[in-house]
Structure 1
Amino acid sequence: ICLVIQIFSGLLLATHYIPDIYFAFNSIQFIMRDVPNGWLIRYFHANGASMFFIIVYCHICRGIYYGSYIKPRHFIWCSGVIILLLMMGTAFTGYVLPWGQMSFWGATVITSMVTVIPIAGQYLAEWLWGGFVIKEPTIRRFFVIHYLLPFFIAGLTLVHLSLLHKEGSNNPIGSDFIGDILPFYPYFAVKDLFAFAFFSLFFGFFVFYYPNYLNHPDNLIRADSLKTPAHIVPEW
């Protein structure tokens, strides 16, 4: 559900966003102020990213507790790890796109870390930048990567679900006896509806009452390469 929300809202935002260092910040303001319901779409997308990671972290903790990384479900676990890495790449590239202070300096810090990779580090960093510094080509490349990665995540999610369907879900006692299997509907479907209702209320609370709570206030300031923020930290 989170992935569908992110892809759908992202496609709508992409129709008005301009991947340009001179117009990116203004295009976000245009979406927020002038596009009909643009503020709602943007807040759904921005807060949806945090909600997505919260749900995924809970899912990972559940998998560790249940021992879902052990055979015969190790391939399910590996596909999930790849999905998480792609999500991190998607989130990072998306974080750069608003071109606020935290976007620019976050990109500077993270991409500079790539240079420590032996031999290929500097070449990889320059490929990400599209030059020798973060400039016009950087934001365009990040926009393309951010646009494409969710579709790879969607495809890999189908693989993840097909592997899960083949091996079956894990349980707290680790029982794989076929006689213990219960149909998904209606037993687990009803439980999922309760979880979905709680998630919707939690998500809506941030979107409608505290839409900027999970965002850094410095990112509401246009990117300035001559002024470094006092604290370059994650939102949560």
Structure 2
Amino acid sequence: MSAHANTYVPKSRVAKWFESRLPLVGLVHSSFVAFPVPRNLNYFWTFGAILIAMLMSQIVTGIWLAMHYDPSAANAFNSVEHIMRDVNYGWLLRYMHANGASMFFVAVYIHMFRALYYGSYKAPREILYILGVIIYLLMMATAFLGYTLPWGQMSFWGATVITSILGAIPIVGETIQSLLWGGYSVGSPTLNRFFSLHYLLPFMILGVVVLHVWALHVTGQNNPAGIPIKSSKDAVPFTPYATVKDVFATVVFGIFFAYWIFYQPNYLGHADNYVPANAAVTPAHIVPEWYFLPFYAILRAVPDKLGGVILMFSAVIILAFAPWLDTSRVRSSNYRPIYRQFFWLFVVVTVLLGWLGSKPPEGGYVIAARLCTAYYFLHFLVVMPLVGLFETPDRVPDSILESVTGPGKQVSGAGIPAGAAAAPQTKG
């Protein structure tokens, strides 16, 4: 998994025998113990560990819930009520899983905005970044499928609306729609398909996460200064320096997660989902979960159905092209005074799109959604290329050490051992 030198030396005869045949301990040691990380990493770099913890929580609670869930239109709603009322600690498992999806997206959005701000998508980390976008797409698919499983009013009508828009895709749209439905409308076959896919996709996410971590250890970590490790003084061993920070941040995030589980378990859900699905009664206002709202606003901002579908999917896919749309030779926005303002405007616009997605598609809400949608795409297609060409960046430190201590100052304390390999030196 790591492209760095393995400094692990087994001491016992059994360990030497095992390491010569399957160097698993050496792999873990080189990747998560001796692996050199920049000494200037801040707490935004702990969200990778938080996301792994949340993924494992979702998989474990999901497997347990699946043991008691009945994926049929007739019994799905009642099986969820059975989990909540009759299964030992079923209420806790369900609240952990339902709120865990929201916490997963809170962490992933912070992780993504951090990557965009500090330029973590630039060479040589393009594949690492694209794998992250793939994980995000798989997360969105998994979350949507999971939202339909309680088979309440909002679950049913959310599934109906989202699967119906797929029919607008030329040539293959109706085929995809009928395969998902398993019939001529959303019903029991649809629920069976969604349950199967919802159970499968987290393990696909786990597989891509392994590739993501592998790619990270090949290229080395980015850092707030956006400059490569050049000497042993620029880096510290992953353990204990990064692991202690990761564990602390994960515990703090876990406390935040626990607040939603025990004090506001239903706040992020929708009241209509506690009413059994009824195809004859349409809710007054159909909305997806909060983490889909920016893209839902983009979908509704376009009067043409096909155009809305194209823009909605393009809003996610365009993220993968950031490494080639950004023309600046400086990674970190800390040293890009003009682009930094546009970045924060982009964050505000994205949050505003989320708010507009929760409002009725009428009047000023639609106009505001169209303006925000326009800027969302202009940020990638116009701002990134042009600002990178014409902006005069601030002076970038010559080394990570200088970014921490200031010019001409020395540092005392642990660095990576002299014999350990530093992260690959790359330009940009």
Fold shared, TM-score > 0.5 on shorter chain: yes
Aligned residue in 2 for 1:68: 120
Shift of 1:190: 2.1
In the alignment, structure 1 residue 114 sits paired with structure 2 residue 157 = no
Shift of 1:187: 1.8
Distance of 1:91 and 1:177 partners within structure 2: 38
> 2:241 corresponds to which letter in structure 1?
Y
Aligned residue in 2 for 1:15: 67
Distance of 1:14 and 1:118 partners within structure 2: 36
Q: Deviations over 1:175-229 (max 9, x none)?
A: 1133122211222222222211210110000001111011111101000001011
Aligned residue in 2 for 1:146: 198
> 2:139 corresponds to which letter in structure 1?
M
Aligned residue in 1 for 2:32: none
In the alignment, structure 1 residue 37 sits paired with structure 2 residue 89 = yes
In the alignment, structure 1 residue 26 sits paired with structure 2 residue 78 = yes
Distance of 1:86 and 1:234 partners within structure 2: 17
Aligned residue in 1 for 2:175: 123
Aligned residue in 2 for 1:55: 107
Q: Deviations over 1:150-183 (max 9, x none)?
A: 0000011000000001111101111113312221
Distance of 1:234 and 1:133 partners within structure 2: 19
Aligned residue in 2 for 1:3: 55
Among candidates 166, 176, 182, match of residue 218 of structure 2: 166
Structural mapping, 1:90-109, within 5 Å: 90-109=142-161
Computed over aligned residues only, the root mean square deviation of the Cα atoms, in angstroms, reads 0.9
Among candidates 252, 260, 264, match of residue 210 of structure 1: 264
Distance of 1:190 and 1:210 partners within structure 2: 29
Among candidates 238, 242, 248, match of residue 188 of structure 1: 242
> 1:166 corresponds to which letter in structure 2?
V
Q: For this pair of structures, how many residues does the alignment match?
A: 236
Distance of 1:226 and 1:211 partners within structure 2: 29
Aligned residue in 2 for 1:225: 279
The runs of 5 or more residues in structure 1 that have no matched partner are none
Distance of 1:160 and 1:90 partners within structure 2: 18
Alignment partner of 1:182: what SS?
strand
> 2:182 corresponds to which letter in structure 1?
G
Alignment partner of 2:185: what SS?
coil
The runs of 5 or more residues in structure 2 that have no matched partner are 1-52, 291-428
In the alignment, structure 1 residue 201 sits paired with structure 2 residue 245 = no
Q: Which moved more, 1:183-192 or 1:91-100?
A: 183-192
Distance of 1:156 and 1:235 partners within structure 2: 24
Aligned residue in 1 for 2:132: 80
Aligned residue in 2 for 1:135: 187
Alignment partner of 2:167: what SS?
helix
> 2:102 corresponds to which letter in structure 1?
S
Moved over 6 A (4+): none
Alignment partner of 1:178: what SS?
coil
> 1:155 corresponds to which letter in structure 2?
G
